[in-house]
Chains A and B, each alone.
Chain A
Amino acid sequence: MRGCSGRVCERKGITVFVAWRELRFARGRFLLIGTVVALITVLVGFLAGLTGGLAAQNISAVLQLPGDRIVLQQPGNGDPSYATSSVSEKTATAWEQAEGVTSVTPIGIVQARASVGGGDDPTGVALFGLPQNASGTRSNPLFDLAPAGDGEVGLSSGAAADLGVTTGDTISIAGGDFTLTVVGDDLWYSHTPVIVMTPEAWSEASERVGGTGDATVLAVTGDADWSAVGEETGSVAETPLASLTALEAFRSEIGSLGLMIAMLFGISALVVGAFFTVWTMQRAGDIAVLKALGATTGSLVRDSLGQAAIVLVAGIGVGLAAVIGLGALAGQALPFTISPLTTLAPAVVMAVLGLAGAAFALRSVTKADPLTALGSNR
């Protein structure tokens, strides 16, 4: 029989030829599908942007902590927590003397209130006690805020904006007055803007707000036997990323918002799959005719998936544009982050899951019997 031997064969088949024309012919139907995909993309994108924004307000300062490990106090029962951790000088010394450890930086973190001129409208802030010139903190936006003297503070831009202060102004924190010397990047801890003071000033402030005055965590660099030293000292050494689970607010927010995003992804796959299943079932007669005329199942599958891909890319593209546009506006009033992680990544996941949903519909294509095209079956 005639083959394509001796000729240049192509494998394009009917891909896009029929699909594209069906898209134009049934544009109302595909507009509806595309709109639903776009709306789901907006939902996912907004949720991802909001999650990113909330995460940034939770952890942007923690992510700047130096070191290979963050050492927290291991409580007798329960999990380590930034809110309750208190690392004594004895523990810090033990870590300094542990084999393989090259540097240890004690860091104090406590939440307090700050005001200007003893006003009645204090602002919740996160007080960080940081030394200047600590190991591995060159060009570190958090450590750039570290002041030189005990009577001075450095403010993140968010804190400065909330308090309405500029360099040289005096700020009251936990009963003490401090002069603002530096305003830096917008850094947050557990939804409060960051204020940095010297370790000594921080220790006093910590005691005034009910703390122990000991450092909250240690930023440790080196290659030690982390678990052994931790066990000996009643502490736990986590990687900076893993230590984020010790932030209760972050853990619960990310958990619930992440679950919502995952559910939306699942819904999008189901919706797109359902749309294309119904659509492919409606096309079953046409598919049988094409098979009877000689269309290969492979080319019909490519045609169907190509059609789904066009609708998905168009719908996701529109949704993504809406997320970026509306997200930029929302970012002025809400913690909203626009980044590849909160826009492109969900879009790619949407596209992949949507195609997976559409792939479920392909059974109608592969199983269509060309024999049904004969007679008066249609």
Chain B
Amino acid sequence: MIELQNVTLTFPDGENRVTAVDNVTLRGRNGTVTGITGPSGSGKSSILAVAATLIRPDSGGVLIGNGSDTIDAAQLSKHEATELRRERIGIVFQQSNLLPALTAREQLQVMARLGGGTSRATRARIEARAEDLLDAVGLTQHADKRPHQLSGGQRQRVAIARGLVHDPEVLLVDEPTSALDQERGAEIMHLISRLAHERDTATLLVTHDLVHRETLDDLVTVVDGRVTTALTGRVPTR
């Protein structure tokens, strides 16, 4: 589970500060996909950045985990936040952001080698999961291809597999369909939804359009940094 509690984030703007996230509270439940939508500049990506511990909020908490295993990510040091991302958070970027020199398989394997404290057993477990996930996203046959040899949809599927390969509790997805046509976009959204449910992962997904809203379990709408509506339960299609 991930829960943002009364999170506020401001940025310097000349002599003043502009509020990007204004007292936002939202929750991503285990095994569900929570969509975060809103117009451009509404603060969607800033919410995701706070959830990903890439930026520390001015105030509020970011609770990750379940029961006694829950921690407030907003209170972590930079080093601890890095370790948290490596072990408990998966991130899927807007533009897949795959490393050009690595094959699809290696994009996943590198997750086992990111830190200074990865155990041999963890590394072996992650590398074994890489094969399962490549199969789960339908890329076993393309495992040895580099990003430039894959289509946009395939690249995004590799990125999703990379986000899940270390078995995170939370998956954060930033505009995964923005560079894809509608058909490929639908495939990706259904894939994310299926994997979130199968793997019991709390998924926050930022999206600017709701064409594939049927794949979302919950939906939060953000305008000017504030949550304006929050729908819980399977999001109805129009």
Contact = CB atoms under 8 A, between A and B. Distances in A.
A38 to B, nearest CB: 23
A3 B115 CA distance: 11
B153 to A, nearest CB: 18
B97 interface: yes
Interface string A141-160: 00000000000000000000
Contacts of B223: none
B217 interface: no
A18 B122 CA distance: 19
A4 interface: yes
A374 B48 contact: yes
A291 interface: yes
B87 A14 contact: no
A302 B143 CA distance: 27
B174 A293 contact: no
Nearest to B146: A25
Contact of B106 (A21, A286, A290): A21
A259 B118 CA distance: 48
Given A1-B88, A371-B55, A18 B115 contact: no
Interface residues of A, number: 39
Nearest to A295: B114
B87 A1 contact: yes
Interface in B117-150: 117-123, 146
Interface stretch (B12-20, B25-33, B77-85, B195-203): B77-85
B52 interface: yes
Interface residues of B, number: 47
Interface in A350-378: 370-371, 373-376, 378
Contacts of A292: 52, 54, 85, 91, 93
Interface string A22-39: 101110000000000000
B223 to A, nearest CB: 18
B49 interface: yes
B171 interface: no
A255 interface: no
Contacts of A371: 49, 54-55
B168 to A, nearest CB: 10
Interface stretch (A5-13, A43-51, A120-128, A315-323): A5-13
A15 B116 CA distance: 10
B84 A1 contact: yes
A283 to B, nearest CB: 9
| Top 9 A-B residue pairs of the complex, sorted by shortest distance between their CB atoms | A294-B86, A25-B101, A7-B119, A294-B85, A295-B114, A4-B117, A22-B101, A14-B113, A289-B97
Interface of B: 45, 48-49, 52, 54-55, 71, 76, 79-80, 82-89, 91, 93-95, 97, 99-102, 106, 109-111, 113-123, 146, 162, 174-175, 178
17 contacts: A1-B71, A1-B80, A1-B83, A1-B87, A2-B87, A8-B121, A9-B117, A13-B114, A13-B116, A13-B118, A14-B110, A18-B110, A25-B146, A292-B85, A292-B93, A293-B162, A298-B116
